[in-house]
């Protein structure tokens, strides 16, 4: 017995191993000993617990478009099936409630009249109007203060440029190039501040199809009515359009619904006057696109209104 144990020790030392029976494969004694006799350090040390890595903002942005925390206000544009008048409401700010009345064939009225709405009346207070018949550009008029009546305010908005300070006139220009409709520059009045001492805000509507801007699916990509809202002064400072110049985005639903026009997402608290100007500029661009589609569908020919 003693000789057998000595022979086994000598063979293990020389690197040889005796045959294993009952189907066992080769297994080194060193490994076998480590398994049966774990070290004290392994027994006493606790198993480390790892928490999952947090998702970065970029990952959230790329998978869901715009980060939800970035949107300050969500403004929805709707209309009826038969008429192109727009109803504008917000779920985040109850004070944002407008009605844009369109007048294509009534030449005695502006093309678009913007009203402040209430729960009881869609046309409670007259705010602004736009003229763009037979022109690629539009002229927007904003009342400096609410008129005594809507008729008095409409007479001021439906005349010439000089109104003794009652109306602030601004332009919404199509800067897309020849026969294009993808970029519009416009200016809106705002309270004078250190950043805007003149009391005017320069903005831009630029068409987008990018997923990072919130465009979803092939229907969203196929729509021509998705626009980024950019700050032109920031573009001039940086020299290019980037995320720092983004003020908001308009995502169209014209190919998904007959009554849902789209959603306006604002990334900043811009103030009532600037939001009103953005709503008016979007109403102009959407109404122009509706009239172009109507003429093309009816075989009416060219795009006189731009």
Residue 49: the pLDDT is 53
Considering only residues 15 and 268, tell me which one the structure prediction assigns the higher pLDDT: 268
Domain count for the chain: 1
pLDDT of residue 298: 66
Write out pLDDT tens, residues 30-57.
444 444 454 444 455 455 454 444 443 4
pLDDT bucket at 134, cuts 50 / 70 / 90: confident
Higher pLDDT among residues 24 and 77, named by residue = 77
Q: What is the mean pLDDT of residues 71-80?
A: 92
Do 249 and 226 touch, CB atoms closer than 8 A? yes
pLDDT of residue 131: 95
CB atoms within 10 A of CB 272: 14
Point out the least confidently predicted range of 122-131, 188-197, 199-208, 249-258.
Answer: 188-197
User: Which residues constitute the domain of residue 120?
Assistant: 65-296
Whole-number pLDDT of residue 302 = 45
- Long-range contact list for 162-168, CB < 8 A, 24+ apart? 167/141, 167/142, 167/143, 168/141, 168/142, 168/143, 168/144
Query: Does residue 185 surpass a pLDDT of 80?
Result: yes
Which pLDDT tens digit goes with each residue over 199-216?
889 999 999 999 888 898
Contacts of 54-61 with C-beta under 8 Å, sequence gap 24+, read 61/212
Tell me how far apart the 2 most distant CA atoms of the chain are, in Å: 123
Distance of CA 75 to the CA centre of its chain: 11
pLDDT of residue 137: 93
Given this model, what pLDDT does residue 206 score? 94
| Residue at 96 is within a domain | yes
Q: Is residue 271 part of a domain?
A: yes
Please report, rounded to a whole number, the percentage of residues in the chain having pLDDT higher than 70: 72
Domain assignment of residue 17, yes or no: no
At 183 the pLDDT is 95
Mean local confidence (pLDDT), 230-240: 83
Q: Check residue 82 and give its pLDDT.
A: 84
Does residue 52 fall inside a structural domain? no
For residue 109, being part of any structural domain is answered with: yes
Q: Quick: pLDDT tens for 3-32.
A: 555 555 554 445 555 555 554 444 544 444
- Please tell me the distance from the alpha carbon of residue 38 to that of residue 299, in angstroms, as a whole number: 87
Which is more confident, 179 or 257? 257
Reported as a single tens digit per residue, the pLDDT across 277-303 is 999 999 999 999 999 988 887 654 444
Q: What is the pTM of this model?
A: 0.73
In a domain, 33, yes or no: no
Q: Is the pLDDT of residue 198 over 50?
A: yes
The 10s digit of each residue's pLDDT in 142-171 is: 998 877 677 778 888 886 555 457 888 999
Position with higher pLDDT, 108 vs 158: 108
Residue 18 lies in a domain: no
Is the residue at 53 inside a domain?
no
């Amino acid at each position: 017995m003693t000789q057998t144990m000595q022979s086994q020790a000598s063979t293990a030392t020389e690197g040889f191993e005796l045959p294993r029976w009952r189907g066992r494969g080769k297994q080194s004694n060193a490994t076998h000993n480590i398994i049966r006799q774990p070290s004290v350090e392994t027994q006493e040390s606790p198993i480390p617990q790892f928490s999952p890595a947090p998702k970065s903002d970029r990952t959230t942005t790329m998978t869901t478009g715009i980060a939800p925390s970035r949107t300050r206000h969500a403004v929805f544009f709707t209309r009826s099936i038969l008429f192109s008048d727009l109803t504008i409401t917000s779920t985040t700010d109850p004070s944002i409630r407008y009605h844009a009345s369109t007048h294509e064939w009534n030449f005695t009225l502006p093309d678009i009249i913007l009203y402040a709405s209430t729960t009881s009346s869609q046309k409670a207070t007259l705010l602004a109007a736009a003229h763009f018949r037979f022109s690629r550009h539009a002229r927007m008029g904003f009342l400096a203060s609410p008129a005594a009546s809507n008729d008095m305010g409409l007479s001021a908005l439906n005349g010439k440029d000089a109104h003794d300070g009652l109306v602030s006139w601004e332009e919404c220009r199509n800067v897309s190039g020849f026969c294009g409709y993808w970029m519009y520059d416009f200016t809106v009045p705002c309270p004078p501040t250190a950043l805007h001492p003149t009391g005017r805000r320069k903005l831009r509507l630029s068409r987008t199809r990018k997923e990072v801007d919130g465009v979803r699916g092939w229907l969203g990509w196929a729509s021509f009515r998705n626009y980024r809202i950019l700050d032109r002064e920031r573009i001039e400072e940086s020299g290019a359009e980037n995320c720092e110049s983004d003020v908001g985005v308009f995502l169209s639903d014209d190919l998904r619904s007959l009554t849902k026009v789209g959603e306006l997402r604002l990334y900043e608290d811009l103030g009532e006057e600037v939001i009103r100007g953005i709503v008016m500029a979007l109403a102009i661009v959407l109404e122009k696109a509706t009239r172009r589609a109507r003429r093309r569908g009816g075989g009416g020919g060219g795009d006189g209104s731009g």
